[in-house]
């Protein structure tokens, strides 16, 4: 089943048909996205004499009649560099439609792996659910976009490890939680273990989903018994 690209009628449209139908009803931002004209978009932001200079920033996150934002449209069409430009200019990556679809959902439904990578790098929220209770990962699965499913699993495993490192670091740095309750050696074990995992993430460019899962499990095994001491009666 092919995902509905935009609400331009009751039929499913090809990308070329989408562009042709929408062109007469565009803003300067969506026009540039449909034409994949990054230079024209940049001119609207940077040229003081441009007729759209005063309105382009507002239009950047204005939703069309179909409820989709410019970034949603760029994601659907697989506009990788355009998506980067929109995000750099201030496009809201976690903004959702009335049915809870964000740019990640649209990229996942269309199998736009390049845009997915751009959104994930910009720290898009992988846990946003639409009205069907689907994250982008489940949307990709529904449309049989296997490469997107695998990538989103990888991204989630990576972020889970990074979030665990951050949580442990913040806990051990909180004097109200640890003062007088942990030995110096225990604190050093937590600090050094988190540092080691953070450096592993930074330096390992070919890590797999399972690698991230294994590294998180190893960190939990070391740190959790130590932090359990914080729950013991004083």
Q: Give the CATH H-level superfamily of domain 15-144.
A: Ankyrin repeat-containing domain (1.25.40.20)
Other beta carbons within 10 angstroms of residue 24's beta carbon come to 7
| Percent of the chain scoring above 90 in pLDDT | 79
Other beta carbons within 10 angstroms of residue 31's beta carbon come to 18
Residue 15 banded pLDDT, cuts 50, 70, 90: low
Tell me the C-alpha to C-alpha distance, in Å, between residue 201 and each of 33, 198, 215: 34, 5, 9
Per-residue tokens: 109:
């439904």
Question: What is the spatial distance between Cα 71 and Cα 90, in angstroms, rounded to a whole number?
Answer: 10
CB distance 86 to 76 below 8 Å? no
**Residue 24 pLDDT > 70:** no
Domain limits, the chain: 15-144, 150-231
Mean pLDDT of 68-73: 96
The angle subtended at Cα 194 by Cα 189 and Cα 199, nearest 5°, is 130
Longest dimension (CA), the chain: 70
| Percent of the chain scoring above 70 in pLDDT | 88
> Tell me: the pLDDT tens digits for 154-212?
999 999 999 999 999 999 998 887 777 888 999 999 999 999 999 999 999 999 999 99
- Least Cα distance to 225 among 174, 182, 195, 192 occurs for 182
Task: Give pLDDT, residue 4.
Answer: 41
DSSP 8: S
Mean pLDDT of 96-120: 97
Residue 17 banded pLDDT, cuts 50, 70, 90: low
Residues 6+ apart with CB under 8 A from 130: 96, 99, 100, 101, 105, 139
pTM: 0.85
For the domain spanning 150-231, the CATH number is 1.20.1270.10
């Amino acid at each position: 089943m092919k995902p509905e690209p935009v609400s331009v009628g009751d039929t499913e449209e090809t990308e070329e048909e989408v562009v042709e139908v929408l062109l007469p009803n565009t803003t300067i931002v969506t026009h540039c996205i449909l034409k994949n004209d990054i230079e024209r978009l940049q001119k609207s932001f940077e040229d003081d004499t441009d007729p759209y200079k005063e309105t382009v920033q507002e239009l950047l996150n204005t939703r069309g009649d179909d409820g989709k934002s410019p970034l949603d449209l760029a994601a659907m069409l697989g506009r990788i560099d355009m998506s980067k430009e929109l995000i750099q200019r201030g496009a809201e990556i976690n903004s959702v439609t009335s049915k809870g679809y964000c740019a990640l959902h649209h990229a996942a439904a269309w199998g736009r792996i390049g845009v997915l990578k751009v959104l994930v790098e910009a720290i898009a929220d992988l846990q946003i659910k639409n009205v069907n209770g689907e994250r982008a990962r489940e949307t990709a699965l529904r449309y049989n976009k296997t490469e997107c499913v695998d990538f989103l699993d990888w991204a989630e495993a990576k972020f889970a490890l990074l979030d665990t490192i951050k949580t442990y670091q913040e806990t051990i740095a909180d004097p109200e939680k640890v003062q007088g309750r942990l030995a110096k050696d225990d604190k050093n074990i937590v600090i050094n273990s988190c540092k080691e995992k953070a450096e592993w993430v930074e330096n390992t460019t070919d890590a797999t989903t399972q690698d991230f899962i294994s590294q998180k499990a190893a960190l939990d095994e070391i740190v959790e018994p130590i932090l359990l001491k914080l729950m013991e009666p004083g």
